Amino acid sequence: MTATINPGMAETSFSPNSPEQIKQAAYIAGQAADMRINVELETGGMTVNLGPQHPATHGTLRIIARLDGEQVISCEPVMGYMHRGYEKLAEVRTYPQITTLINRIDWLGSFANEVPFIAAAEELMGVQAPDRAQHIRTILFEMSRVGHIILFLGDLGVQLGAITPVFFAFRDREHVLNQIEAATGGRFHPNFNRIGGLKDDLPKGWIAESKVCMEKCLAFCDTIEELLFGNLIFQKRTRGVGVITPEKALDFGLSGANLRASGVDWDLRRDGHLPLAWNKTDFKVITHPDGDAFARCWVRLQETREACKIVNQLLDTLPAGPIMAKVPRIIKVPAGETYVSTENPLGEMGYHVVSQGGLGPFRVKIRSASFNNMSIAPWLMKGVYVPDIVTILASLYFILGDIDR
Amino acid sequence: MLAVTIPYWGQTIIKLGTVLVIIPVGGLLIGYVFLLKMMAHMQSRLGPMEPGGFHGWYQNIGDALKFIQKEDIVPAQADKWVFSLAPYVVVISTFLLYLVIPAGPDAVISDLKVGVFYSLAVGSISVIGILMAGWGSANKYSLMGSLRAAGQLIAYELPLVLAVIGVIIQAGSMNLNQIVKAQESQQLFGLNVGGVPYIATQFVGFVIFMIAAQAELTQAPFDMPVAESELVTGYMTEYSGFRFLSFFLGEVASAFALSAIAATLFLGGWYVPLPHGILSGDNIFNVAGPLILAAKIFFISFLIFWVRFSYPRLREDQLQTIAWKYLIPISLLNIMATAVLKVVF
């Protein structure tokens, strides 16, 4: 049996004559040899599972990454390991019961989760919470944003390998949590909003304490800015990594700081229509033109400062009055549907509530920010290095409960 | 000199015992002081402060006991021999590293003529252990971590050696004791000021040595091999119990040993300038030398851990860039400058 490597090869006779042709033939032969070597050395890549149990995914997000050495060829986030079916559960509960559930969606900014849902129910019922209640809601909303993003800033450090910021973050977030606990009775899950107002008024001395707390948070922001954002290694790791253009950001439905870091000036606190007290304060919507990981982190840092500013302003101008509007003892929401969304710490969080006039909603669609923010990950992670996966995930900032609901 | 002549085997046993005690004790002391207590103070974490009374000193013993009584898990797919031996290869390289470090004029375990060369050579044995761990674990994270470690240690071995060459040129010897003595007799512009440590004349070399040592020890900002947010814990992912403790001990003990080398090469080792006539001579330093050396080791370790707790981690390509594009050219220039100045003066 004779082995012919390429049967067609023998028949073609190629005899180069001119030096030009010889050069060309040598070039082709060289290319062919290179190709052979490349085929022989083909390593086939490697598939690595980051998660569901992985330190970088702080929760149960799973990322299937196909790697070529240290480079990511493609990656696919797999969601749903912590799906708890809140949309379905909401259909078999009354409105006051649902606030308990939706507290657990984005568990770091729980108070902020309640507000849009309660606002949607109030809108359907035609009830308006009194002025004082709206002010306190806004204060606690912004406080939960501060606590949320403080933890983000610390977590950012630990994802990039600096272990110190996360401990500062846990230490200083405690001040915010203590204030939220003093006002609402719950550290993580306040369940403080009621349709038509709030459960309780603020305790005595809370306003002065909150101002001290905000001072501490601002000091934390300064520390982090020096420790992390001013660090050359941090900048090398984040600048130019995971760049999102404004068009792409809008295409993927990003919201919150991720959108503003791409230069899109859009903030529901300013552009929304809710009767909360944001329009009575003076704050800046922070944007950044770069759209990279550094921009996202920087925007969040500045937003924390703005949030502290909002809280301080509202604490000064807190109006007197009742904290609860007149609502019937048994809450029945008239038939209708509405979509209400707010600028939560993670981005736009909205509830589409459909009511058929019963004790509970007929259908609740939860639009959570992290789900959309994560959807850009596969597009973003093509061709980056393995450490950049972590940088990008950390800078997109997601909470697993907010993705899976 | 000792009045009684100790036979060769007796000396060997004493030397072995010294190494076997010094390295774990020194390593654990460094681990306790810097890795646990200094880190806790820097990061304002309270941690367990109760056990044992003062500053929760007993907690660390409890931690060690916990590691020892944990189940020793070997993954089903693992290459069992390679997997089990890897931690010990890493630890042994640390022990070998310490053999040539003089703690006094005569208090040295093995007074090799090529001490610097030897210590830098055995220091890279730990790479083999790390590669064994990565390969034997049958885990992708481990494999990636160990390959990263190999690439990193090869890249940083060069600046480490090149930084030391400046010292060797200046001292005119590779024997560590000779290097200490050269620093003792070093004069400052013709004046006898009781010795000048080479950190003054070889400052560039010292900085490069410390950066490279940081990478050799895989401490942040060069801790990609164990990058816990990317690769879980890199090559240590599959280890548990006593083997994990061995890796941990290897980490702190090699920090101790490399600090000792840095202290000897750049800070004058066991020597400090003492008033002439009253307290000088070899006998004093044979007694006080170990303590002086220990103080210097602690200072260098403090620098290592201070950087570790302050900086984020570099990316793999940035790490290689620093080594090949900056550290190696600078250290070559340093060697050139040292050689020229040696000839001129």
pLDDT in tens, A139-196: 999 999 999 999 988 888 888 888 888 888 988 888 999 999 999 888 888 888 888 8
Query: Which residues of chain A does B313 touch, with a Cβ-Cβ cutoff of 8 Å?
Result: 160-162, 233, 237, 387
Whether residue A10 has pLDDT greater than 70: no
Over residues B216-230, the mean pLDDT reads 82
Residues 6+ apart with CB under 8 A from A204: none
Question: pLDDT tier at A1 (50, 70, 90 boundaries)?
Answer: very low
Q: Is the CB of residue B238 less than 8 Å from the CB of residue B10?
A: no
B148: distance to nearest CA of chain A, Å?
9
Query: Which residues of chain A does B305 touch, with a Cβ-Cβ cutoff of 8 Å?
Result: none
For position A299, what pLDDT does the model report? 92
A233: distance to nearest CA of chain B, Å?
6
For position B338, what pLDDT does the model report? 86
For position B282, what pLDDT does the model report? 63
**What is the pTM (predicted TM-score) of this model?**
0.81
Peptide bond into B51 cis (omega under 30): no
Over residues A274-286, the mean pLDDT reads 85
Bridge partners, A72 (sequence order): A67
Query: Which residues of chain A does B215 touch, with a Cβ-Cβ cutoff of 8 Å?
Result: none
CB-CB under 8 Å, B313 with A237: yes
Task: List residues of chain A with CB under 8 Å from any CB of chain B.
Answer: 46, 48, 54-56, 70, 157-164, 167-168, 171, 227-228, 231, 233-234, 236-237, 385-390
- Counted across chains A and B, CB pairs separated by less than 8 A come out at 80
Name the residue in chain A with its Cα closest to that of B39: A164
Q: For A191-230, write each residue's pLDDT tens digit.
A: 888 888 888 888 888 999 999 999 999 999 998 988 888 8
Name the residue in chain B with its Cα closest to that of A388: B315
Whether residue A113 has pLDDT greater than 80: yes
Distance in angstroms (rounded) separating the CA atoms of residues A323 and A16: 94
Query: Which of B230, B305, B307 is the mutation pick for testing A, counting most A CBs within 10 A?
Result: B230
Q: What percentage of chain A has pLDDT greater than the value 90? A: 11
Query: Which residues of chain A does B223 touch, with a Cβ-Cβ cutoff of 8 Å?
Result: 161
Query: Which residues of chain B does A168 touch, with a Cβ-Cβ cutoff of 8 Å?
Result: 43-44
The token duo for A156 is 């950012």
Over residues B150-175, the mean pLDDT reads 87
Name the residue in chain B with its Cα closest to that of A47: B140
Residue B19 or residue A184, greater confidence: A184
Over residues B94-113, the mean pLDDT reads 80
Tell me the three-class secondary structure of chain A, residue by residue: CCCCCCHHHHHCCCCCCCHHHHHHHHHHHHHHHHHHHHHHCCCCCEEEEECCCCHHHCCCCEEEEEEECCEEEEEEEECCCCCCCHHHHHHCCCHHHHHHHHCCCCCCCHHHHHHHHHHHHHHHHCCCCCHHHHHHHHHHHHHHHHHHHHHHHHHHHHHCCCCHHHHHHHHHHHHHHHHHHHHHCCCCCCCCEECCEECCCCCCCHHHHHHHHHHHHHHHHHHHHHHHHCCHHHHHHHCCCCCCCHHHHHHCCCCCHHHHCCCCCCCHHHHCCCCCHHHHCCCCCCCCCCCCHHHHHHHHHHHHHHHHHHHHHHHHCCCCCCCECCCCCCCCCCCEEEEEEEEECCEEEEEEEEECCCCCCCEEEEECHHHHHHHCHHHHCCCCEHHHHHHHHHHHCCCHHHHHC
Residue A301 or residue B187, greater confidence: A301
Query: Which of A163, A224, A388, A389 is the mutation pick for testing B, counting most B CBs within 10 A?
Result: A163
Whether residue A133 has pLDDT greater than 80: yes
Considering chain A, what is the average pLDDT of its residues? Answer: 84
B277: distance to nearest CA of chain A, Å?
49
The token duo for B149 is 């470690």
CB-CB under 8 Å, B221 with A390: no
For position B329, what pLDDT does the model report? 92
B46 touches A at CB < 8 Å = no
Give me the residue from B230, B309, B316 closest to A163, CB to CB. B309
CB-CB under 8 Å, B42 with A164: yes
CB-CB under 8 Å, A161 with B223: yes
Query: Which residues of chain A does B138 touch, with a Cβ-Cβ cutoff of 8 Å?
Result: none
Query: Which residues of chain A does B45 touch, with a Cβ-Cβ cutoff of 8 Å?
Result: 167
Q: For A323-337, write each residue's pLDDT tens digit.
A: 888 888 888 888 888
For position B277, what pLDDT does the model report? 55
CB-CB under 8 Å, B44 with A158: no
Considering chain B, what is the average pLDDT of its residues? Answer: 83
B311 touches A at CB < 8 Å = yes
Name the residue in chain B with its Cα closest to that of A167: B43
Query: Which residues of chain B does A173 touch, with a Cβ-Cβ cutoff of 8 Å?
Result: none
Whether residue A9 has pLDDT greater than 70: no
Q: For A333-359, write each residue's pLDDT tens digit.
A: 888 889 998 888 888 888 999 988 888
For position A248, what pLDDT does the model report? 87
Whether residue B69 has pLDDT greater than 60: yes
Over residues B109-114, the mean pLDDT reads 80
The token duo for A163 is 């272990």
Over residues B157-178, the mean pLDDT reads 87
Whether residue A98 has pLDDT greater than 50: yes
CB-CB under 8 Å, A389 with B311: no
A151: distance to nearest CA of chain B, Å?
15
A231: distance to nearest CA of chain B, Å?
8
Whether residue A235 has pLDDT greater than 80: yes
Identity (one letter) of the amino acid at A50?
A: L
Over residues B111-132, the mean pLDDT reads 85
Whether residue B229 has pLDDT greater than 50: yes
Over residues B34-44, the mean pLDDT reads 83
Q: For B244-259, write each residue's pLDDT tens digit.
A: 888 888 888 888 888 8
Give me the residue from A157, A163, A385 closest to B317, CB to CB. A385
Query: Which residues of chain B does A228 touch, with a Cβ-Cβ cutoff of 8 Å?
Result: 312
Query: Which residues of chain B does A164 touch, with a Cβ-Cβ cutoff of 8 Å?
Result: 42-43, 309-310
CB-CB under 8 Å, B314 with A236: yes
Name the residue in chain A with its Cα closest to that of B322: A233
For position B3, what pLDDT does the model report? 52
Over residues B147-151, the mean pLDDT reads 87
Q: What percentage of chain B has pLDDT greater than the value 90? A: 3
CB-CB under 8 Å, A54 with B312: no
Distance in angstroms (rounded) separating the CA atoms of residues A12 and B231: 53
Query: Which of A70, A297, A384 is the mutation pick for testing B, counting most B CBs within 10 A?
Result: A70
Whether residue A56 has pLDDT greater than 80: no
Give me the residue from B45, B228, B312 closest to A157, CB to CB. B312
Whether residue B122 has pLDDT greater than 70: yes
